[in-house]
Each structure stands twice: as structure tokens, then as C-alpha cells.
Structure 1
Amino acid sequence: MRPRWILRLAVLVAGLIPLAGAALAHGVAEGDQGFLQGVTGVHPVPFMYLGAKHMVTGYDHLLYLAGVIFYLRAFRDVAAFVSLFALGHSITLLFGVLSGLHVNPYLVDAVIGLSVCYKALENLGARGFPDPRLAVFGFGLVHGFGLSTKLQDLELARDGLVANMIYFNIGVEIGQALALGVLLILLGTLRRRDTAPAVGQNANVVLFAAGLLLFGVQITGFFVT
């Protein structure tokens, strides 16, 4: 990493520190928790809504998704990478909740922060990384555990759980599609500017700083909580 990037990174991390409290608070909204803990039976629309809401408000997932598609131009490439990510987080979201396998949420979110850093470094031209498709699928598995741990902290009724989790996951995919549409519009606008290369480089430095902050906050939470 070049010296000027290190300076930018230090300034950005310092500027993002006030957001640390929000990062620790990331999870299922309090009002939604009451619904999830009190509902029994199958409820397709509410669970799809909650899944979509969680995705479009999940800044960690959106940061990683933005990094994944940042330099992709062909629609088939965007579809391939996003599908791999979706497959990964669908597997662990459903498996984690339905099997009861619980992973420490601070550790999962710390790795999610690192996934953002990883993708930013890859976009900045760092060498020695494995096949990007394999990495996207692997980090998708981690992001899915991030979703499942938020739900496992609640006492979900077993009645209708399988169907409700499938509907929740469908909602996650709907939310991801909506977020993807917005990101593609923003990136398309960026690419038409003369300053696109410089802005793209700076944007990925910001992405790296945000991922580093997320990692720091969550790993601190793991040790102090």
C-alpha cells in the first residue's frame, strides 16, 4: 500500500470511529424482535419483509457487495458473483438457524469486516489472492452465519420455523436485488466521469477503512463482552 493511501486510511478510520457504537448495535431492530419472538405458524409476507429489511439496512453486507461488483461491467459477471454470494449466505443462514449451530456473533462480524478489507485490497490491485469466485462464495458462507446469529439470539418458535426461515431468506435475496440495483446505478454514473479511475481508487480506500473499523469494533466487543 502506497504511503498516501496509508495517510488517507488513518484519516478515514479516525473519522469513522464515532460510528463504532452503531456498528456494535447492528442486529435485528427491537420492534422486529418482539414480532419474531411472539409469532407462531407460517407467515410468508412478514418474514420476507424482515429478510429484505435486514439486507438493505445491513451496512456490512452492502459494503462487501459493493466491493464485489465495483469493477464488474458485464451483466453475466455481476450475476455470477452475486449468485455465488447469495448461495453461500443462503446455505449458512438456513443451516445455522435450523440446526442450532451457533457461532459467536462478534467473531463472525469481525470476519465480515475483514471480508470488506479483503475485497477492497483486491480491487486496489493487491496480488496473491485466490480465485475471486471461490473467495466470494466463502465469504458468502460467513455472511450467512452473520445473519443466522442475529436470529439465534432470539427465541424463535419451532412451529413454522422451517417455512419462515425460507421466506426470510427469500426476503434477503429480494433486499439484495434492490440494493444491487441502486449500487449498479451509482457505479454506472461513476464510470461515466473523467475522474473515474481516481475516484474508484479512493472509494476502495474508504471501503478498506470501513472494513477495518468494523473488524476493530467487533473484535473489541468479543474481548470485552
Structure 2
Amino acid sequence: MKTTWRRYRLLIVSFLGALLLSITWATPSQAHWADLAVAEIAVDKTQTAMTLTFPTGLVASADDNRDGQLSDAEVSQHQTELEHFLGDRIRLVNEQGQAGVVAVTSSNNLPPNIQSNANTHTTLELTYTWTQAVTGLTINYNLFLPNVPTARCLATVIQAGKTQNLVFTPEKHEFSLISGSLWQQVSSFVVLGVEHILSGYDHVLFLISLLMVGGGLGYLLKVVTAFTISHSVTLSLAVLNIVTLPVQFVESAIALTIVYVAVENFWCKSLRWRWLLTFSFGLIHGLGFAGVLKEINIPQSNLAVSLASFNIGVEIGQLAIVLTAFFVLRVLQKQPWELTFRRFVSACIIAVGLFWFVQRAFGLS
């Protein structure tokens, strides 16, 4: 009796401790606009126009009234300053190494792939010009919030009637805008997929929670396959706008899937049908994965490549997570405190999942 009470007292303490830590440190894991920029880049012979929506905090000195957006008057007042700052951080260079001369103006007519978030982002038109037609053009994009590894810019490039989608990150920020290879699009979306799963802490906790009940490689294979198939289905349907659900609902439901699996870990005795549970919950997680891709309007001609590349990136990150967790648990398998450790981790995951659910369901983030 004392042993049982001691065990559950440990679980209660770990639950409360994890809850306090999650309240203090937890950050919303869904993709959101705080560190995101979106661009549409139209390349012409002697001129390239970029419609850019980016965090206003990057040009806070031009936001005179501190309302989180640059007005037409503020852009006009600080035009020289903005042209110097943005021209230095977003450089377009032709085949002869000549940088385009940039002009910055306000933009009120947003293209379909641009969303405007009041009080956080500003949309500007950047126009780069050269004295003669360019045959080669390279962009070096370095407009990121400092010390934010998840910062990125999702860009649609239109050139000679063709479109290409690129993802700029602090690590990968230089691309060719004329006759760019298919590989640069594939690689950028693979990287985006890897980053999305690794920085999506809710998806990570869901996968780790599935492993807390033990199981061999057969169980691991079933779980990973079920999750991969299900989230790939709903990811594709969501990006195609065939299935659309409110973001708040999806993110709250994802938090509940984490809580349910972690709670089930305390009484689950058979792993035979757990792959089916994973498949069902994976459908919900797929809608969460789609969020970042829906920020840009991927053309039909690029959709298959972008989706496949993003999915490959997600799977690479997913395999890295589950294999690491699986082998760590294997090492701990013979320890006398292994079961207590698994329950401790599950209790912590329940606490974090509940906190995320309350945070998302009631709009507290």
C-alpha cells in the first residue's frame, strides 16, 4: 500500500511540476506570424518587384506612433532609411555582380498569397532596377528577427510565366531567381518540413508519448507508418482547401490527442490496435502541419513537388525523433526504475498537453 501511494505521489508531484514549468516556459508550437514573412517576387527584364509582408519590429524606428504597422505617411517620412536598411538585407545581384537600385513604397493591394496581420506586420513594395536587361539574378535574403531560428520568409517567384516557391531561412538564404533549378525548391521545402516537425513541440510530444508504453521495432514501424499515412492525407487535403477547419479548433484538438495518449499509457496493456489510434489522431495532426504551407498560395504546377518535399522533410525529422527516443528507452529497459520513469514522462506530457489545450481553446496564447 505504501509503495503504491509513494508511486502515485511521485506521479502527482511530477504532474504539478510539469504543469508549472509549462505555464512558465511553454510557447505555442503551432506556426504563427510572429517570426514569419511572406513575399511575392515578380522578375522582369530590367526590374524586379517584391511585395513583402514582414514583422514591423524589424523597422521599429520608422513606426512613429508605435501601432505595429507602417502607415503611408511613415513610409514616406522614412523612405531613405527604409531603402538603405531593406536594400542592405535583401540584395538582388545580376550576372555581372551589380546590385539592383531599390525603391520602397507602401503597398495596399496585397496579392492572394499575402496575408496582413494588423499590429504586427507591414507590407511594402520593393522595386529593384538595372540599366540593362538581366540574364542572371541572385537574391540574398537576410531580413530575419535576430536570434530566432524559426524565422523564415515564404516566397513565390514569378519569372517568364513560370512560378517557383522558395523558403528563406537564416541558414539558407541565397537562391537564383532566373532559371533556378528544381533542386533549390525541393531542398528548401525539405528543410522547412524538418524544421516544422522539430520545432513543433506538440507533434514531438505526441510521438514520444506513443513510445512510453514500450514495444519493439514492429510496434514502432506500425505507429510511424500509420502516423505518416494519416497526416499526409489531411495535409494534402488542407493545402488543397478541400478540408478546412478553424485553426483554434485544430490546435486545441492536437493538444487533446497528446493528453489522451499520455493518459492511456497508464492503463494500456495491449499494443495490438494502437496503430489505429495513431492513424486517427494523425489525421488531426496533418491539419496542423498544413498551417505553414497555407500561408502561401502554392501554384498547381508546383504543388506536387512542394508537398512531397515538405512531407519528406517531416518524415526525416519524425524518424530522427522516434529512433532517438526508441533507443534511449531501450538502454533504460533493464533499469529497476524504468516503469517509474515512463510514467513520470507521461505525467509531464499530460500536464503540458492540458496547459496547451487551455491556452489554445480559450485564446490565452
Percent of aligned pairs with the same residue? 27
| Aligned-residue offset at 1:19 | 2.5
- Separation (CA, whole Å) in 2 of partners of 1:169 and 1:25: 17
Letter in 1 for 2:23: I
Tell me which moved more, 93-102 or 48-57. Answer: 93-102
- Separation (CA, whole Å) in 1 of partners of 2:274 and 2:152: 39
Which residue is equivalent to 1:82?
224
Using the size of structure 1 for normalisation, the TM-score is 0.85
Which residue is equivalent to 1:206?
348
Tell me which moved more, 181-190 or 205-214. Answer: 181-190
Match of 1:37 among 143, 155, 175: 155
Distance 1:191 1:26, change over 3 A: farther
Deviations 1:103-152 (A, max 9, x none): 2222111111111111111111169xx94222110100000000112322
Match of 1:136 among 250, 256, 278: 278
What does residue range 28-67 of structure 1 map to in structure 2 within 5 Å? 30=36, 35-39=153-157, 40-41=163-164, 43-67=185-209
Distance 1:102 1:149, change over 3 A: farther
Which residue is equivalent to 1:23?
28
Match of 1:170 among 293, 305, 312: 312
Match of 2:20 among 14, 19, 26: 14
- Separation (CA, whole Å) in 1 of partners of 2:280 and 2:298: 30
Deviations 1:153-174 (A, max 9, x none): x123314122211111111111
Instruction: Describe the SS at the equivalent of 1:38.
Output: strand
Whether 2:273 is the aligned partner of 1:155: answer: no
Higher relative CO (CA 8 A, sep ≥ 6), structure 1 or 2? 1
Which residue is equivalent to 1:219?
361
| Aligned-residue offset at 1:213 | 1.2
Instruction: Describe the SS at the equivalent of 1:217.
Output: helix
- Separation (CA, whole Å) in 2 of partners of 1:68 and 1:107: 22
Instruction: Describe the SS at the equivalent of 1:99.
Output: coil
Do 1:51 and 1:172's aligned partners in 2 also have CA atoms closer than 8 Å? yes
Which residue is equivalent to 2:167?
none
Using the size of structure 2 for normalisation, the TM-score is 0.54
Do 2:30 and 2:288's aligned partners in 1 also have CA atoms closer than 8 Å? no
Letter in 2 for 1:23: P
- Separation (CA, whole Å) in 1 of partners of 2:279 and 2:210: 11
Which residue is equivalent to 2:47?
none
- Separation (CA, whole Å) in 1 of partners of 2:199 and 2:28: 12
| Aligned-residue offset at 1:210 | 1.3
Structure 1: gaps of 5 or more residues: none
Letter in 2 for 1:18: T
- Separation (CA, whole Å) in 2 of partners of 1:81 and 1:24: 22
Distance 1:163 1:78, change over 3 A: same
Aligned residues: 218
RMSD: 2.6
Do 1:63 and 1:116's aligned partners in 2 also have CA atoms closer than 8 Å? yes
Do 2:29 and 2:199's aligned partners in 1 also have CA atoms closer than 8 Å? no
**Which structure shows the higher helix fraction?**
1
- Separation (CA, whole Å) in 2 of partners of 1:63 and 1:81: 14
Distance 1:24 1:90, change over 3 A: closer
Instruction: Describe the SS at the equivalent of 1:193.
Output: coil
Tell me which moved more, 204-213 or 183-192. Answer: 183-192
Do 1:103 and 1:149's aligned partners in 2 also have CA atoms closer than 8 Å? no
Distance 1:126 1:176, change over 3 A: closer
Letter in 2 for 1:209: A
- Separation (CA, whole Å) in 2 of partners of 1:45 and 1:107: 31
Please tell me whether Structure 1 or Structure 2 has the larger radius of gyration of its CA atoms: 2
**Which structure shows the higher strand fraction?**
2
Do 2:253 and 2:357's aligned partners in 1 also have CA atoms closer than 8 Å? yes
| Aligned-residue offset at 1:51 | 0.6
